[in-house]
């Protein structure tokens, strides 16, 4: 049975339900160069063969380059490894508030809850996740600051 997915905010039709791995193969996306988020939850790579995408699932793909992101100017850096939720998110938002629109913040995060929660929460605040890079001791997240469309009076 056909299934409609919301891919990067746009509806796309597929012939049937498929796993994340099948989705990436159909889109010709190299598994090692992407992090997949389904319905605002980052899916671990080891689960790509197990997790099935269902009708109206929201799928986001964030590309990264091992060894660092290329051609992206980093304006500010924040190392919050070892900082517990929700303080890691609070520190990220406070740093973003000090930055200009479109500037890039590099955030170093621990695996587990931090990488699962901070990117989702930052996106809910209206900012853009540019890239995610798995490191030996956590994750490197690049965030593009976005000003609200209608700033408060």
pLDDT at 98: 95
- For 120, the domain range is 76-144
**What are the residue ranges of helices labelled H in the chain?**
20-26, 87-97, 113-124
pLDDT at 1: 81
Q: Residues 20-34: what's their mean pLDDT?
A: 81
Q: Could you confirm whether 134 is annotated as catalytic?
A: no
Q: Residues 134-138: what's their mean pLDDT?
A: 83
Are 9 and 41 within one domain? yes
pLDDT at 69: 44
| Catalytic residue (one of 3, 21, 85, 135) | 85
Q: Is 37 left (phi over 0), alpha (psi -120 to 50) or beta?
A: beta
Q: Among 68, 80, 82, 150, which residue's Cα sits nearest to residue 119? A: 80
In a domain, residue 16? The reply is yes
pLDDT at 70: 47
- What do you get for the CA distance between the two ends of the chain, in Å? 49
User: What is the SS3 assignment for 43?
Assistant: strand
User: What is the SS3 assignment for 98?
Assistant: coil
In a domain, residue 28? The reply is yes
Are 7 and 54 within one domain? yes
Range in 48-52, 62-66, 72-76, 104-108 with the lowest mean pLDDT: 62-66
Angle 138-140-145 (CA atoms, 0-180°, nearest 5)? 140
What's the CATH number where 83 sits? 3.30.110.40
- In the chain, the largest separation of any two C-alpha atoms, in whole Å, equals 49
- The CA-atom distances, in angstroms, between 55 and each of 13, 16, 103, 124 are 9, 9, 35, 22
Kindly report the pTM of this predicted structure.
Answer: 0.58
Convert the pLDDT of each residue in 45-68 to its tens digit. Answer: 889 999 999 999 999 887 655 454
């Amino acid at each position: 049975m056909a299934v409609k997915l919301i891919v990067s905010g746009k509806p796309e039709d597929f012939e049937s339900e498929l796993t994340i791995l099948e989705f990436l193969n159909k889109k010709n996306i190299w598994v090692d160069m992407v992090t997949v988020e389904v319905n605002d939850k980052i899916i671990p790579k080891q689960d790509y063969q197990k997790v099935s995408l269902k009708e109206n699932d929201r799928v986001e793909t964030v590309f990264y380059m091992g060894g660092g992101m290329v051609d992206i100017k980093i304006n500010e850096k924040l190392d919050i490894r070892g900082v517990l939720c929700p303080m890691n998110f609070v520190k990220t938002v406070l740093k973003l508030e000090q930055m200009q629109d479109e500037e890039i913040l590099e955030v170093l995060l621990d695996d587990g809850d931090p990488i699962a929660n901070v990117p989702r929460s930052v996106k809910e605040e209206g900012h853009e996740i540019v890239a995610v890079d798995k490191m030996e001791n956590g994750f490197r997240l690049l965030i593009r600051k976005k000003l609200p469309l209608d700033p408060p009076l």
